[in-house]
Amino acid sequence: MYVEGFVVAVPTANKEKYREHAESAVPYFKKLGMTRMVEAWGDHVPDGKVTDFKGAVKAKPDETVVFSWIEYPDKATRDSANEQMTNDPEAMASMGDMPFDGQRMIFSGFDPIVDQIGEGASGYSDGFVVPVPNAKKEAYTKMAEKAAPIFREYGATRVVEAWGDDIMDGKVTDYKKAVKAEDDENIVFSYVEWPDKKTRDDAWEKIMKDERMQPEGEMPFDGQRMFWGGFEKIVDTAR
C-alpha cells in the first residue's frame, strides 16, 4: 500500500459542501487506481504549545481541520494518478471550485512502515503527524510495531504508520513547516481507526495507564512537535 495524506482547513459552514465535493471525486479517483478514500472532520483537535493541526494549515476561527487520506496499491499507481490529474484539464478546472482554501492544504506521499488491521468497521480516527530523525527510522518503527497490537487490543480496527517518501514543499504551508522539521528529519503520517468515538475515548484512558506503552529508553522523536487529533469520518469508501 501507498498513502497520500492530506490536512485541510475548511470553513465550518461548508461541511456539507465539502462532503459532497469529496464524494463526487470518488469515482474519478477509483478510475485512477485508488483503493480507499477517507475524509475525517475535526472533532477533538487540541491546541498545542509548539505545533498543532490548526497551525499546520493556518486555520481561522471559523474553520475546521479535515484529516484525510487516499490509499493506493503501490507508489507507481499513485504517481500515475497524480500525473493523469495534472494533465486532465477538467480535473484541474474543478480544483478552482473547492469549498476551502487550496493554498493552505498540505499533502504528500507516505510509505507505510506499520499496517495492522483489527476487526470491525471504522467510524472515527485519530490522526498524527510526527517529525522523526532519519537516523531513528528503525527505532521509531520498532516503537510503532510494539504499540500497534496494544491499540488493537483496546478496540482499534486499524493502525497505520507511514514514513515520508514524497514530501511536498508548499508556498504557504507544508508538512515540514507544520512540525518545524529540522534538516535531518522526516515526516510520519499516522492514523488509528476506531469503531466510534466512545470506543476511542475509553481506549485512550486505558492506553495511557498501560505500562506496556512506556518507552524503552529515549523517545525517537521530539514529542513537543508531534501533533494529533480526533476526527469523525464523513466519507469512507470502505464502508
42-93 pLDDT, tens digit per residue, is: 999 999 999 999 999 999 999 999 999 999 999 999 999 999 998 988 776 6
Which stretches of the chain are assigned E, i.e. beta strand? 2-11, 36-44, 63-72, 106-117, 124-133, 158-166, 185-194, 227-236
Q: How confident is the model at residue 3 (pLDDT cuts 50, 70, 90)?
A: very high
Mean pLDDT of 144-166: 97
Q: Where are the domains of the chain?
A: 2-236
Question: Has residue 95 got a pLDDT over 90?
Answer: no
pLDDT at 93: 66
Question: Has residue 127 got a pLDDT over 80?
Answer: yes
Helix then strand then coil, % of the chain, to nearest 5? 35, 35, 30
Pick one of 3.30.70.100, 1.10.8.10, 3.30.70.250, 3.40.50.12280 as the CATH number of 2-236: 3.30.70.100
| Strand duo 36-44 + 227-236: pairing | antiparallel
pTM of this structure: 0.95
Closest CA to 164 of 186, 142, 136: 186
Are 121 and 26 spatial neighbours (Cβ–Cβ below 8 Å)? Answer: no
Residues 8-48: pLDDT tens digits? 999 999 999 999 999 999 999 999 999 999 999 999 999 99
pLDDT at 130: 97
Question: Has residue 194 got a pLDDT over 90?
Answer: yes
Q: Which amino acid is at 107?
A: F
pLDDT at 96: 61
Q: How confident is the model at residue 101 (pLDDT cuts 50, 70, 90)?
A: very high
Residues 6+ apart with CB under 8 A from 181: 131, 175, 187, 225
Residues 6+ apart with CB under 8 A from 143: 215, 216, 219, 220
Grid coordinates in use for 234? 464523513
Cα separation, 199 vs 155, whole angstroms:
7
